[in-house]
Amino acid sequence: MSLLSKLKEAAVCLKAGRVTLPYPAQAQPVPPKFRGRPIFDAAKCIGCAGCANNCPAREILVFDVCQEVRILKYLGRRCTYCGRCADVCPEDAITMSHEFENATNSIGDIQQKLDLFMSTCQRCGRCFKEPSPLEQLKLKGYRFDDLANEQWIFRSQAYLTEEAAVDDVKIELD
Amino acid sequence: MIAREKLNELRAKFGPAIQRADLPSDGRLFVFIEPSVVKDVCAHIFRDLDARYVISIGADDRPSSGKFMVAHNFAFDREHLLASVLTYLPAENPKLDSISDVVPAANWAEREIRDLVGIEPVGHRYLKRLVLPDGWPDGLHPLRKDFAWNQVPEGFDEDREFKFDEPPEGCTVVPFGPFHPTLDEPAHFRLYVEGEMVRGCEYRGFMVHRGIEKLAELVLTYNEIPLMAERICGICGCVHNVTYAQAVENAIALRPPPRAEYIRTIMLEIERLHSHLLWVGLACHIVGFDTLFMQSFRIREPVMWIAEKITGNRKTYALCVIGGVRWDIAPEMKAELRAVLDKLEAEWTPVVAAVLKDKNIQKRTRDVGVADRRLVKEMGLIGPVARAAGADMDCRRDHPYAAYDRVEFDVITADGADVWSRVVVRAKEVFESIKIIRQCLEKMEPGPLQAEIRDELPVGRLGMSSVEAPRGESHHFVITGENNRPRRWRVRAPTYQNLQGVPAMIKDQQLADMTISLGSIDPCFSCTDRLETIDLRTKAVKVWSQEELRILTRRAKT
Ligand code: SF4
Ligand code: SF4
């Protein structure tokens, strides 16, 4: 008889009571391991570019302005909060924060730009300690990602030349 | 060794046409054969040896061997063997005898190979475009290696119209989708309706194909792919993440540490729990029974929370890298997980008891969307759809991976072959998952989470892995390659096969049953198309022209 099962189903509902949480008026705390938006610490970052090379979403750009200054830019657009950048960073300069309410009208709110002092660094990439050969730095040397258009450029240069390769959008595989 | 046995059987029948064979491990067989016998060999494997068709893969192997390659994968479920039949084709004008008249399930796969790699299936009866958009220029194949990953094809013809098939005589056409309240993602069914009865349909999908395989072959690296693979699907993402990692591990003969295997098993089952609960809810919603829809979602929520506690996110677990997992399950987490399972079991039991006797749901779902054993075999249907038709198959038992060989569970089957049986199978599988997780928690020992990888991965190895996703077998095929990334990675999501069974399932039944029939395979178009979905909301009542729409989308982008 179906009436009995209807009664049982009603019992299930009544027992449960009200469970809706008062979000967004009141936010639940997130668990300690929660992976929110990554936050970069310019004081700790050494500019090894390991995070940029291992970001699956290609969300971290590297641009060498001159010998002494390297720019690291976190785009915050397609970032999937996977936490790989924080995994591979040898200096623990990246924290997966607990921030998840990241919707914004101006993307600048969540982007981060680090101006890193590199001194005489030759960008050889040896300061990046890869967990395994699968994370090795393929793009060593000077990098000129397209900051204006927020795009990766899949190449690097052994020497810092006068005319940087910013306009070169030709794709070279490694 | 079963692989050796099968190989000998094939050798006895086809002799010299078999060029070479790889038996990298028990449970895997790769046979390289001459193109001329591919159809016969596949027919023999599919019919005489009664294997299940899995998928066909086309690959552009010209940079390494100067040739194209096609692989037809089959599974011997009872014998625990995955077999791949491979053949090389000349670089010029590659074509291969179509196998889809002996193996009907290969229909889509062959059309996809034609679209993306440009290998012509000779003798295929229905060579309509499947994956590429209508305006895509002919003769350009995006999965060929000389096609750059970000290339925009010249001569894209936005105005070229899709040509629909002629409906059968006396039928009216009723369009269903691409946007429809019971479709969570875009797909278009053009139903041929006679009165209230559906007589057939044409399917048009792949509207959100985003070329993730191409990215993997040219841009991403080995350990970046798992985190992208996970985003193929919003419900069974972890499945793709694990399947990919396992396929690569299979290719390079790497075994993750036991603790990692247990954690993978646990997370896969947690995923099945949330997916099945979600599905039962949605199925009830589709038939208009929202009470249970609400209750399923309520019961499901703690599962999401525990996943968030373990992995840092309620859905995208970001679990695997090659050789292991990233997150551990700490002892206090074990206790919490056990408590969640106990509560889930206590709450799900009365729901199942009530639902299984609910005549209203039964009336709505019995003898609806029937997929019988014959259809299961011909179309390669899998998962709960197959099990509900009495086909006793489950990759967890048949092709054990992770820690499934160390736990005990029952494979739930039913014999109604209809939507109702699928409800029953899924409702009961929840208890099996709970059982599996409990055993894993019991058995897992402390130890490392990731295997050590000291060298770059070897090149040109083949690997495949099948994982029982909540909706059926998810299968990945990998050829390892240069530059720290695979040469070819093919994802076959369960819906890819199950969708091909839908036209037969909805034939000769009421139009109103279409939604639940489709819903009953738990379609996941994202997986099938390998993409992400976009949600456009507008309140304006206006018919947009294509041009207007384009302007609108362009504006939205900037
Ligand atoms: S969290 Fe993942 S996607 Fe986001 S920046 Fe880091 S590596 Fe890239
Ligand atoms: S990996 Fe760490 S140290 Fe290296 S560039 Fe990125 S944030 Fe800086």
DSSP state letters, B307-365: HHHHHSSSS----EETTEES----HHHHHHHHHHHHHHHHHHHHHHHHHTT-HHHHHHH
Whether A60 is in the pocket of ligand 1, judged by its Cβ within 6 Å, is yes
Nearest to A166 by CA among A140, A116, A157: A157
Q: What is the DSSP letter of B48?
A: I
What is the number of structural domains in chain B?
3
Task: Identify the residue among A2, A12, A170 best suited for mutation to test binding to B, counting B beta carbons within 10 A and taking the highest.
Answer: A12
pLDDT band per the 50, 70, 90 thresholds, residue A159: confident
Pick A33's closest partner by Cβ from B221, B309, B321.
Answer: B309
Ligand nearest to the CA of A84: 1
Whole-number pLDDT of residue B25 = 83
Whole-number pLDDT of residue B250 = 94
Distance from CA of A148 to the nearest CA of B (A): 14
Q: Position of tokens 């925009």?
A: B152
Q: Position of tokens 């936050």?
A: A39
Residue B373 CA, distance from chain mean position: 20
Does the pLDDT at position A21 exceed 60?
yes
Task: Supply the pTM of this predicted model.
Answer: 0.91
The secondary structure of B511-541 as a DSSP string is GGGHHHHHHHT---HHHHHTS----------
Whole-number pLDDT of residue B397 = 95
Query: Is A121 among the domain residues?
Result: yes
Query: Is A24 among the domain residues?
Result: no
Query: Is B333 among the domain residues?
Result: yes
By the 8 A CB rule, do B414 and B370 touch?
no
**How far is the C-alpha of B481 from the C-alpha of B484, rounded, in Å?**
7
Which residue has its alpha carbon closest to ligand 1 atom 3? A79
CB contact under 8 A, A8 and B456: no
Tens-digit pLDDT profile for residues B260-291: 999 999 999 999 999 999 999 888 888 888 88
Query: Is B164 among the domain residues?
Result: no
- Which residue is closest to A58 within chain B, CA to CA? B220
Q: Give the other-Cβ count within 10 Å of A115's Cβ.
A: 12
By the 8 A CB rule, do B71 and B84 touch?
yes
Q: Position of tokens 């990888």?
A: B453
Whether A89 is in the pocket of ligand 1, judged by its Cβ within 6 Å, is no
Whole-number pLDDT of residue A46 = 95
pLDDT band per the 50, 70, 90 thresholds, residue A169: very low
Residue B403 and residue B269 in one domain: yes
Task: Identify the residue among A5, A105, A172 best suited for mutation to test binding to B, counting B beta carbons within 10 A and taking the highest.
Answer: A5
Query: Is A10 among the domain residues?
Result: no
Mean pLDDT of chain A: 87
**How far is the C-alpha of B491 from the C-alpha of A147, rounded, in Å?**
34
Query: Is A27 among the domain residues?
Result: no
What CATH number is given to the structural domain containing B460? 1.10.645.10
**How far is the C-alpha of B528 from the C-alpha of B531, rounded, in Å?**
8
A21 touches chain B (CB under 8 A): no
Residue B222 and residue B365 in one domain: yes
Query: Is A96 among the domain residues?
Result: yes
Whole-number pLDDT of residue B542 = 56
Distance from CA of B514 to the nearest CA of A (A): 25
Task: Kindly give the distance from the C-alpha atom of residue B494 to the centroid of ligand 1, in angstroms, as a whole number.
Answer: 29
Nearest to A111 by CA among A43, A169, A59: A59
Query: Is B276 among the domain residues?
Result: yes
**How far is the C-alpha of B259 from the C-alpha of B257, rounded, in Å?**
6
Residues of A in contact with B357 (CB under 8 A): 2, 4-5
Q: Give the other-Cβ count within 10 Å of A67's Cβ.
A: 14
Per DSSP, helices labelled H in B204-330 are 212-218, 225-229, 237-252, 258-286, 290-311
Residue B455 and residue B536 in one domain: no
Under-50 pLDDT residues of chain B: 531-540, 557-558
A2 touches chain B (CB under 8 A): yes
What CATH number is given to the structural domain containing B97? 3.30.460.80
Report CA-CA distances (Å) from B144 to A41, A141, B156, B212, B509: 42, 30, 18, 14, 42
Task: Kindly give the distance from the C-alpha atom of residue A50 to the centroid of ligand 2, in angstroms, as a whole number.
Answer: 6
Whole-number pLDDT of residue B547 = 62
Query: Is B460 among the domain residues?
Result: yes
Task: Kindly give the distance from the C-alpha atom of residue B94 to the centroid of ligand 1, in angstroms, as a whole number.
Answer: 40
Residue B365 and residue B497 in one domain: yes
Chain A, 44 to 83: residues with Cβ < 8 Å from chain B are 54-58, 80-83
Residue type for position B389: A
What CATH number is given to the structural domain containing A76? 3.30.70
Query: Is B112 among the domain residues?
Result: yes
Length of chain A equals 174
The secondary structure of B71-103 as a DSSP string is EEEEEETTTTEEEEEEEEE-SSS-EEE--TTTS
Q: Is B379 helix (H, G, I), strand (E, B) or coil?
A: helix
Query: Is A16 among the domain residues?
Result: no
CB contact under 8 A, A56 and B225: yes
By the 8 A CB rule, do B241 and B229 touch?
yes
CB contact under 8 A, A138 and B483: yes
Whether A79 is in the pocket of ligand 1, judged by its Cβ within 6 Å, is yes
CB contact under 8 A, A31 and B295: no
Which sign does the torsion angle of CA A32, A35, A37, A39 carry? positive
Residue B224 and residue B351 in one domain: yes
Query: Is B172 among the domain residues?
Result: no
Residue B107 and residue B223 in one domain: no
Q: Which residue range(s) make up the domain with A53?
A: 32-156+164-172
Nearest to B150 by CA among A121, A154, A5: A154
Whether A72 is in the pocket of ligand 1, judged by its Cβ within 6 Å, is no
Task: Kindly give the distance from the C-alpha atom of residue B314 to the centroid of ligand 2, in angstroms, as a whole number.
Answer: 27
CB contact under 8 A, B316 and A80: yes
> In ligand 1, which atom is closest to the CA atom of A35?
1
**To the nearest 5 percent, what fractions of chain B are helix, strand and coil?**
45, 15, 40
Distance from CA of A60 to the nearest CA of B (A): 14
Residue B256 and residue B120 in one domain: no
Give B172's contacts (C-beta < 8 A, 6+ positions apart).
B192, B193, B194
Q: Give the other-Cβ count within 10 Å of B505's Cβ.
A: 27
Residue B544 and residue B501 in one domain: no
Whole-number pLDDT of residue A168 = 43
**How far is the C-alpha of A20 from the C-alpha of A22, rounded, in Å?**
7
Residues of A in contact with B316 (CB under 8 A): 80-82
The secondary structure of B443-472 as a DSSP string is H-----SB----SPPPSS-EEEEEEEETTE
Residue B544 and residue B479 in one domain: no
Q: Give the other-Cβ count within 10 Å of B126's Cβ.
A: 12
- Which residue is closest to B215 within chain A, CA to CA? A56
Q: Give the other-Cβ count within 10 Å of A147's Cβ.
A: 16
Whether A45 is in the pocket of ligand 2, judged by its Cβ within 6 Å, is yes
Residue B136 and residue B282 in one domain: no
Mutate to test the pocket of ligand 1, among A55, A74, A114 (most ligand atoms within 8 A of CB): A55
Nearest to B385 by CA among B229, B270, B235, B496: B496
Strands of the sheet containing B509-510, edge to edge, are B172-176, B188-194, B197-204, B509-510
Residues of A in contact with B453 (CB under 8 A): 132-134
Report CA-CA distances (Å) from B148 to A155, A164, B91: 15, 24, 18
Residue B405 and residue B483 in one domain: yes
Nearest to B80 by CA among B314, B398, B370: B398
Residue A15 CA, distance from chain mean position: 44
Strands of the sheet containing A112-117, edge to edge, are A60-64, A69-74, A112-117
Q: Which residue range(s) make up the domain with B556?
A: 529-558
ipTM for the assembly: 0.89
What is the number of structural domains in chain A?
1
Which is more confident, B162 or A83?
A83
Whole-number pLDDT of residue B14 = 92
Whether A80 is in the pocket of ligand 1, judged by its Cβ within 6 Å, is yes
CB contact under 8 A, B318 and A133: no
**How far is the C-alpha of A106 from the C-alpha of B385, rounded, in Å?**
46
Pick B313's closest partner by Cβ from A35, A138, A173.
Answer: A35
Nearest to B263 by CA among B402, B119, B67: B402
Residue B437 and residue B457 in one domain: yes
User: Could you tell me the two tokens for B66?
Assistant: 């100067």
